[in-house]
Amino acid sequence: MKRNAAYDLNALRREFPILDREVYGHPLVYLDSAASAQKPRVVIEAQREYEAHFHSNIHRGVHTLATQATEAYEGVRSKLTEHINAARREEIIFTSGTTDSINLVAGTWGRANLNSGDVVALTRLEHHSNIVPWQILAKEKGFDIVVIEIDEDGSLCEESLKAALSRSPKLLCVSHVSNTLGTVNDVTRITAQAHEVGAVVLVDGAQAVPHKKIDVRDIGCDFYAASGHKMYGPSGVGFLYGKAELLEEMPPWKGGGEMIQTVSFEEETTFNVPPYKFEAGTPHLSGVIGLGAALDWINSVGLDKIAEHEEALIKYASERLSEIEGMRLIGTSKDKASVVSFLVDGTHPSDIGTILDQLGVAVRTGHHCTEPIMNKLGIPGTVRASFAAYSTFEEVDALVAGVERAVKMLR
């Protein structure tokens, strides 16, 4: 059933300049927000304003521009602290995105704490960026990786979770929302269960932050990672939340400027305090400023309202797509966010994606950087439509009409 968004959807769409463009003579129907969301004008403008009027390197300067840039950059750290309800601003590290954040945890906490005989638990739902860093480190350190399996509907298998926890993992990694199946994991409960057996918990929040209110203290996790470009912000910027007591103990990762206290050839080099210990070199300054603008924008619309609208879109899209003969929805767990993945009998996902593109409909096809899910389900990939605050029911209709047309052409 179509339900009006709890905000003025047309007015909101006008804030996104890109949504005006055409592809192959058709109005753009952008259903690939899980890969990268589009940016409202305020984000684009905030970056431009920074570059045009107060760009300067941060922290090190005494001049006016350096002070203004530093204040703006550090202001976003405070904003993000509040946005995800971290206890202290020192718990927020700016990174280049989720991938970078997870590699940071692997390269510091992981390298310092994981050894031969240890166990790391990963779910089958993880994006490659929450699998491969652990596989690389496992090869170096000799620890075991245990996989928490999924059920047919794409939800985590409770028995498998129990079995993994019975091996007392030192670390459990879980995505908050699956980018391929849309499954929302109960990360608060899973964190509590993992803590009972002494595991540190890393939550990949890349697909959750654009769609849900995140409260890291309520979740209780030790680390939480996300990317700016999936939350209406710039690419090349993201963050890692880490509990202060863990960050303080962790050795540095990348070496360079800003992450040191003193550097000497004669005495031992000493390191800065978190978060600066983990922010070597000049960061993506305009990216962080843009991320701050994206947070303001999200809050001005309201995550609750965005979630409600997206939930209605998922429901409508699932119902409409199911009317197509041979349709197979992939990922049907009860609690879902943001994405609808599917296959149609007798067709290949990439052929459907190519035909949809010619109709102006942008979807993603393939394994979505989650090959282990494809292996488990025995499928080559899926067509994935993903939604954001600006998505409309009419766009779902365009998707359905496009898939119907593609299926006719391909069968």
81 makes contact with ligand PLP (CB under 6 A)? no
- CB-nearer residue toward ligand PLP: 204 or 222: 204
* 403's tokens: 């898939």
- CB-nearer residue toward ligand PLP: 290 or 344: 290
- Tell me, residue by residue from 213 to 232, as one string, x for binding to ligand PLP by CB under 6 A and - for no binding: --------------x-----
- CB-nearer residue toward ligand PLP: 12 or 283: 283
* 57's tokens: 């390197």
- Buried b / exposed e across 207-246, counting CB within 10 Å, b at 16+? bbbbbbbbebeebbbbbbbbbbbbbbbbbbbbbbbbbeeb
SS3 382: strand
Q: In what order do the strands lie in the sheet containing 92-95?
A: 92-95, 238-242, 223-227, 200-204, 171-175, 119-123, 144-148
Distance CA 220, CA 225 (A): 14
33 makes contact with ligand PLP (CB under 6 A)? no
Among the candidate windows 202-210, 269-277, 317-325, 340-348, which touches ligand PLP by CB under 6 A?
Answer: 202-210
- CB-nearer residue toward ligand PLP: 127 or 211: 127
204 makes contact with ligand PLP (CB under 6 A)? yes
123 makes contact with ligand PLP (CB under 6 A)? no
Phi, psi at 374, each rounded to 5°: -65, -45
Quick one: which of 127, 243, 320, 364 contacts ligand PLP (CB under 6 A)? 127
Quick one: which of 39, 69, 80, 97 contacts ligand PLP (CB under 6 A)? 97
347 makes contact with ligand PLP (CB under 6 A)? no
Q: Is 173 a catalytic residue?
A: no
Distance CA 295, CA 284 (A): 17
- CB-nearer residue toward ligand PLP: 188 or 358: 188
Is-contact 232 43, C-beta < 8 A? yes
Q: How far apart are the first and last CA of the chain?
A: 30
CB of 205 to ligand PLP, least distance (A): 8
Q: Point out which residues bind ligand PLP (CB under 6 A).
A: 35, 97-99, 127, 129, 175, 179, 204, 206-207, 227
Catalytically active residues, by annotation? 369
